[in-house]
Structure 1
Amino acid sequence: MKRFPPLPALHTFWVTAQCCNFTRAAEQLHITQGAVSRQVAGLESHLGYALFQRQARGLSLTEEGRAWQLCAQQVFGLIGDAVEQVGERHRTLQLKASTCVLRWLLPRLLQWQKERPDVPVELTTTVDYSVDFRREPFDAAVVYAPNAEQPTLARHLFDERLTPVCVPALLGSLRTPQDLQHQVLLHPTRDERDWTLWLKAANTQLSPPTQRHHFETLDLAMTVASQGTGVAIGDSALIGEDLKAGRLAMPFELRVPTGMGYYLVHPPGTEPSVGLIALMDWLVSQAQQSQQ
């Protein structure tokens, strides 16, 4: 059976070979110059040949030393990769998302944890639509932004398309958009711009007094609509789970794009981890499937 060289001595040799100087190697390894010299000499004794030529002006690698330098580079490169990959399995990814995308995102993250328990994800929700990676310690975020101003390094999930949503029990009383005149309209914004955009596209004008309520977020308006309180304007891309469960229904086919979209982003200037790349690829594929 072959006797493998001692790994600590091989690592000391590798560091020394990069600078060909015992003193600088000692500084990098945080040991004494004498310890470096002894470990290299011990490795040479184990191998049976010299790895360095000791000269008055310093060290130079022998032919065998150059061969071992390449081997050590591969060995410690593999060890470094293994440390990163194995360690990554136990690190929880930190993901930020606005509450408006939660209806779509949360069921998929639950499915992800079933399929990939080795890549745990912790979700932080907020009413904020953006992320500042300089101040916020997240690995990735789902942001809501204009399609014309796509964030840097963004992965597109889906575009926002507005359509009225209500409980299935109201479908019989909503034959045409004009029938909305007799319903309570639930607005996700105080300025009512979402309903205004959809009604204009539907070539429909409602006369006052139409009953209405205003909410802080689109998600909250759709939640209230699922309780049968009125008709909300919702994002058709986000309500797939509600449609399957029968909590919500879409009375009309018209879906109006707003020019806004949802994007998956990670901190610029950083290389995503293996686990984060897998999560992002999976979420993008889920978004594509949900749009089919």
Structure 2
Amino acid sequence: MTNLPPLAPLASFRAAARHGSFTKAAQELHVTHGAVSRAVKQLEGFFGFELFERRNRGIYLTDRGRAFAAQVETLFAGLERTCEELKTTSPAPRLSVSCEPTLAMRWLMPRLDDFHRAAPDAEVLLSTAGGLIDLSEQGVDLAIRRSDFAWSGRYHSESLGREPIGPVCSPAYWAAHEHTPKRLLHTRTRPSAWTDWKGLSGQTPDADAEQYFDHFYFSLQAATAGLGLAIGPLPMVRDALAQNLLVAPYGFTTTPTDYVVITRRPPAPDSPAQAFITWLTQTLDLPRS
């Protein structure tokens, strides 16, 4: 194996070649700029020639660097496919799912047993997180997110439907405040929720007070407890509405934001991931764009 270069630096080289930047490669790999630079220099020391030209504070693949990058990309893609095949051919396939916390707690978890009955051979391992995600590094097969951020173009994504939102409160709160100014409940994780709804719906409830919470889940719990009106995304309040724990006096307005599923590549038609995505789409039953 004397003709093989050191293998550890290959991930850094691959990321730097893809981004054309040591800084962006470091951000993707969650390491320092210096670590990426040293990894590339280690490879260049092995080959005895430069893989990148450094000029004008930028980096540019040399001809030999470009040829090597193509081979490295092919090898990594093949390795990733092999690993995925090994996982999906196991006797009891496991599907690792990352979901936004409030959607997971208020909508997905109460319904997971329905999916298990529909696909008894698939085991869902659920974790909660929002925003950016590195599927490979975090060992996640599938992420459920709102489309309010940019994710890597190397991932596959598909829409589960548009998000309807509307103010919600307890029936007792509405009975007491239908004709009086209301307390508006805000969440710091989505601070523009009220502004977005007002702009889309054209409605502006009279308000005499405001209260802020650190997370969407808490603002919805506060609304259920009768503390005021909170903006409720329909999937997150659907059960509470059906149980008459909440009412939606102004109805729901469909937003331009989608719920999306993000995967490394399009799932195979007969895979657990595709079965889960199909079930999600049917069960969420959201407006389509």
Higher Rg: 1
Are positions 1:94 and 2:93 aligned together? no
CA contact (8 A) 1:221 1:232 kept: yes
Unaligned segments of structure 1, at least 5 residues: 1-82
Distance 2:189 2:122 in 1: 40
Task: Report what 1:228 is aligned to.
Answer: 226
| Alpha-carbon distance change, 145 to 245 in structure 1, aligned in 2, over 3 angstroms | same
Residue 97 of structure 1 and its aligned partner are, at CA, apart by: 0.6
* Partner residue in 1 for 2:259: 262
TM-score, normalisation: structure 1: 0.59
Distance 1:204 1:168, change over 3 A: same
Alignment partners' CA distance in 2, 1:186 and 1:153: 35
Using the size of structure 2 for normalisation, the TM-score is 0.59
1:107 aligned residue (105, 110, 133): 110
Tell me which moved more, 238-247 or 148-157: 148-157
Partner amino acid, structure 2, of 1:202 = G
- Asked whether the 8 Å contact 1:92–1:121 carries over to 2, the reply is yes
Identity of matched residues, %: 22
* Matches of 1:199 and 1:168, distance apart in 2: 22
Structure 2 partner of 1:202: 202
Quick one: distance in 2 between partners of 1:84 and 1:205? 55
Structure 2 CA distance for aligned equivalents of residues 241 and 205 of structure 1: 24
- Equivalenced residue count is 201
- Aligned partner of 1:130 in structure 2 is 132
Partner of 1:239: 237
Give the Cα separation in 1 of the matches to 2:96 and 2:189: 32
Query: Which one-letter code corresponds to 1:283 in the other structure?
Result: L
2:172 partner letter:
A
Q: How far off its partner does 1:91 sit?
A: 2.8
* Equivalent-residue separation in structure 1 for 2:140 and 2:88 (angstroms): 20
What letter is aligned with 1:262? Y
* Moved beyond 4 Å, runs of 4+: 83-87, 147-152, 269-273
Cα shift at 1:269: 7.8
Find the aligned partners of 2:232 and 2:238 in 1 and give their Cα distance.
11
C-alpha displacement of 1:191 = 8.0
Matches of 2:195 and 2:287, distance apart in 1: 25
Match of 1:250 among 248, 251, 263: 248
